[in-house]
């Protein structure tokens, strides 16, 4: 096939017009075009009075050689097929164990299962259906389950998110991840969309279908199975303990624990696994009317059926050299309670596939350096998170209600006493208050400086009634489980493969999934079944 770039359609043109545009661009007869498929779709909204969809298309022609000679700027379509790693020669005595079923663990398990290695996946939380009921009970009735919540359970934290599949990594495994998602029921458009997302409603079915596929291939997925200890002998992993009672022998453990498994980090530290502090960011969720974001981004095309809900991404460097930025923006979504420990408040954002709710929300985060943690212990950043999550819990009323503040009040430095036009989406509920009491001073100062500047880039960002909900602390892990980049094994425990966001090596669903695949490949490369 041949790759053709810059096929443009106006916002009013039908997608089927791509065929005509290809024929015109390549100067060929209609019968010479055998087939085509969209590789990538992007949107050009730089001119307020005109919006284009721009496509990269792979085409199959009767005579590719003739067309390539005529158009010197064309190339043959690169191969993005996933290439399987050859199996190693060492006999595998015990089944590999994967700890966690978030994107990293799920894809490590899937690849191992596809190659016949029959992995055992251990998930401390519940299956996605039971987990969804537990999360709903928490949001509606404040009944918190410490092992089944937004952070723990089948699918990991990404299950209750926007299901974003954008990534900055350049890796051929990205395509493998997207194709597996489509095979499991995700919309086919994620293969080419400029900002692919699944939405939490569809993602729940996708992770279930991947689990069913792993089981069909001989994998074993165990829920309510928390890894409570490791047996390490001579610098090698020998077994894992489940629920303080059962030992599973294994020489290969993919450690895909997610960024919120604090008790597991503590266990790893006690067992001598090499950890170190890692910078991260904290802040709030900021909520605006989705209609305002649409109008600011799309102008007169706001509300057009082909555009959907608009999003944004903003950055600012404060005068104190702190990066301030928006993260995990959820168009037409809701702010959700996302704590994983009792008596703490943590926020996150979530959207369904349709992105049709009234509000838009995004994390508004400020860079936190390791020097801010207040100590040199490898888990000090985790304790730093806990401090502010406890303060947010108390400030919200000690009942899992979240503290909120109107942007106008925040900028003026006065507590909020009411909710304005932007109605909070957070459940179980909110308490108007003063966010200065649940965030570090440097975070407050940096956000006060950034919001008016961000408003210059996105008109309405500093809307007086825009609502800030505290606190957002889980944008990434505050810990890195150190590993060799060549083998992906722990620096001091052979056979232990820390991966994904929990290992400190990924920043989203796709990059975590790719990291899990890479760890599975390292095991496959070494062993045979």
Tokens of 440: 């570090």
pLDDT at 267: 98
Length of the chain in residues, anyone?
Answer: 529
For the chain, percent of residues with pLDDT exceeding 70: 100
Q: Evaluate if residue 282 carries a pLDDT over 80.
A: yes
pLDDT at 80: 82
What backbone phi and psi angles, to 5 degrees, belong to 176? -60, -45
Instruction: Check: CB of residue 479 under 8 Å from CB of residue 265.
Output: yes
C-alpha R_g of the chain: 24
Of residues 235 and 80, more confidently modeled: 235
pLDDT at 166: 86
Q: Evaluate if residue 145 carries a pLDDT over 90.
A: yes
Q: pLDDT tier at 73 (50, 70, 90 boundaries)?
A: confident
Instruction: Check: CB of residue 120 under 8 Å from CB of residue 248.
Output: yes
The predicted-structure confidence for 20-47, as pLDDT tens digits, reads as follows 999 999 999 999 999 999 999 998 888 7
- In DSSP terms, 363 is beta-bridged to 285, 327
pLDDT at 49: 81
Q: Is the pTM of this model over 0.85?
A: yes
Q: Evaluate if residue 280 carries a pLDDT over 90.
A: yes
Query: Which residues fall within 8 angstroms of residue 429, CB to CB, at 6 or more apart?
Result: 399, 401, 402
82 alpha carbon, distance to own chain's centre:
22
Please give the average per-residue pLDDT across 157-164, as a whole number.
91
Please give the average per-residue pLDDT across 100-128, as a whole number.
98
Query: Which residues fall within 8 angstroms of residue 250, CB to CB, at 6 or more apart?
Result: 94, 95, 96, 97, 120, 237, 238, 239, 240, 495
Token pair 């400029």 is found at 194
For the chain, percent of residues with pLDDT exceeding 90: 91
Q: CA neighbours within 13 Å on the CB side: how many for 361?
A: 30
To which H or E segment does residue 480 belong?
A: strand 479-481
Helices (H), ranges, 115-165? 128-141
Q: pLDDT tier at 482 (50, 70, 90 boundaries)?
A: very high
Instruction: Check: CB of residue 187 under 8 Å from CB of residue 197.
Output: no
Q: How far apart are CA 126 and CA 153, in angstroms?
A: 5
Q: Evaluate if residue 502 carries a pLDDT over 90.
A: yes
What's the chain's average pLDDT?
96
Of residues 307 and 439, more confidently modeled: 439
pLDDT at 417: 97
User: Nearest 5 degrees, angle CA 520-CA 526-CA 529?
Assistant: 80
Q: pLDDT tier at 357 (50, 70, 90 boundaries)?
A: very high
Q: How far apart are CA 448 and CA 172, in angstroms?
A: 41
Please give the average per-residue pLDDT across 75-86, as a whole number.
90
Please give the average per-residue pLDDT across 454-483, as a whole number.
97
Q: How far apart are CA 256 and CA 412, in angstroms?
A: 43
- 264-273 per-residue burial string, b: 16 or more CB within 10 A, e: under 16: bbebbbeeeb
Q: Evaluate if residue 509 carries a pLDDT over 90.
A: yes
Least confident of 74-83, 145-154, 201-210, 266-275: 74-83
Q: Evaluate if residue 167 carries a pLDDT over 90.
A: no
Please give the average per-residue pLDDT across 202-209, as a whole number.
96
pLDDT at 110: 98
Q: Evaluate if residue 81 carries a pLDDT over 90.
A: no
Q: CA neighbours within 13 Å on the CB side: how many for 152?
A: 26
- Give all domains of the chain, ordered by start, each with its CATH number: 2-76 (3.30.70.2700), 90-277+478-528 (3.50.50.60), 280-472 (no CATH)
């Amino acid at each position: 096939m041949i790759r053709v770039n810059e096929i443009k359609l106006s916002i009013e043109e039908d997608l089927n017009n791509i065929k005509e545009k290809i024929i015109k661009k390549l100067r060929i007869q209609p019968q010479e075009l055998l087939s085509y498929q969209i590789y990538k779709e992007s949107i050009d909204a730089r001119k307020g009075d005109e919006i284009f969809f721009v496509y990269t298309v792979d085409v199959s022609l009767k005579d590719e050689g003739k067309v390539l000679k005529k158009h010197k700027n064309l190339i043959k379509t690169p191969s993005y097929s996933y290439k399987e790693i050859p199996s190693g020669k060492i006999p595998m005595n015990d089944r590999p164990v994967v700890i966690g079923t978030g994107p990293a663990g799920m894809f490590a398990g899937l690849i191992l299962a596809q190659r016949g290695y029959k992995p055992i996946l251990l998930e401390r939380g519940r299956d996605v259906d039971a987990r969804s009921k537990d999360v709903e009970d928490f949001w509606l009735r404040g009944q918190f389950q410490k092992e089944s919540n937004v952070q723990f359970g089948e699918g990991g934290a990404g299950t209750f998110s926007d299901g974003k599949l954008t990534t900055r990594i350049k890796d051929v495994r990205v395509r493998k991840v997207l194709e597996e998602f489509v095979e499991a029921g995700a919309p086919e458009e994620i293969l080419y969309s400029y900002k692919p997302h699944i939405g939490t409603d569809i993602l729940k079915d996708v992770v279930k279908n991947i689990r069913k596929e792993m089981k069909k291939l001989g994998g074993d997925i165990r829920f309510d199975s928390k890894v409570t200890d490791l047996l390490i002998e001579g610098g090698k992993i020998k077994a894992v303990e489940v629920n303080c009672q059962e030992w599973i022998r294994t020489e290969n453990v993919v450690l895909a624990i997610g960024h919120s498994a604090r008790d597991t980090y503590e266990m790893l530290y006690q067992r001598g696994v090499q950890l170190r502090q890692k910078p991260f960011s904290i802040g709030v969720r900021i909520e605006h009317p989705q209609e305002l974001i649409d109008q600011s981004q799309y102008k007169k095309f706001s509300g057009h059926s082909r555009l959907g809900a608009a999003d944004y991404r903003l950055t600012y460097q404060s005068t104190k050299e702190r990066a301030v930025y928006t993260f995990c923006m959820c168009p037409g979504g809701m702010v959700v309670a996302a704590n994983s420990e009792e008596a703490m408040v943590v926020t996150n954002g979530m959207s369904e596939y349709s992105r049709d709710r009234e509000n838009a929300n995004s994390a508004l985060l400020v860079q936190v350096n390791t020097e801010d943690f207040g100590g040199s212990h490898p888990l000090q950043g985790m304790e730093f998170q806990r401090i502010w999550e406890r303060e947010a819990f108390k400030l919200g009323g000690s009942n899992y209600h979240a503290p909120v503040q109107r942007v106008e009040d925040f900028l003026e430095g006065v507590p909020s006493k009411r909710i304005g036009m932007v109605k909070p989406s957070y459940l179980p509920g909110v308490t108007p208050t003063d966010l200065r009491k649940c965030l570090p001073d440097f975070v407050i100062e940096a956000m006060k400086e950034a919001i008016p500047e961000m408003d210059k880039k996105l008109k309405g960002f500093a809307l007086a009634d825009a609502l800030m909900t505290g606190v957002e602390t889980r944008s990434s892990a505050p810990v890195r489980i150190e590993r060799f980049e060549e083998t992906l094994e722990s620096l001091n425990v052979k056979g232990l493969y820390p991966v994904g966001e929990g290992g400190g090596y990924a920043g989203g669903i796709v990059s975590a999934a790719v990291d899990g695949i890479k760890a599975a490949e390292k095991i496959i490369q070494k062993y045979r079944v």
